[in-house]
Amino acid sequence: MDRKFLINKNDGKLMGVSAGIADYTGIDVTLVRLAWVLAFFVSAGTALLFYFITGLVAPTA
């Protein structure tokens, strides 16, 4: 199976990164968003940088 990660701007709130991750992995989008919030606090904000880089670099569905 050849699956690709694509940003889902239709179901996304900010840039569609969390919705794209949820579509790719099959995990509920709410859990993915909570994981981003947790990662933000644990990484002292570095996760936010990765979120925006992913939002700018990843292809759109």
Which range of residues forms the domain containing residue 50?
Answer: 1-61
What are the tens digits of pLDDT across the range 5-58?
889 888 888 899 999 999 999 999 999 999 999 999 999 989 999 999 999 999
8-state DSSP, 10: T
Q: What is the mean pLDDT of the chain?
A: 91
Per-residue confidence (pLDDT) for residue 55, from 0 to 100: 92
Contact 61, 7 (CB under 8 A): yes
Query: Which helix (H) or strand (E) is 20 found in, with range?
Result: helix 17-25
Structural domain count, the chain: 1
Contact 6, 17 (CB under 8 A): no
pTM of this structure: 0.86
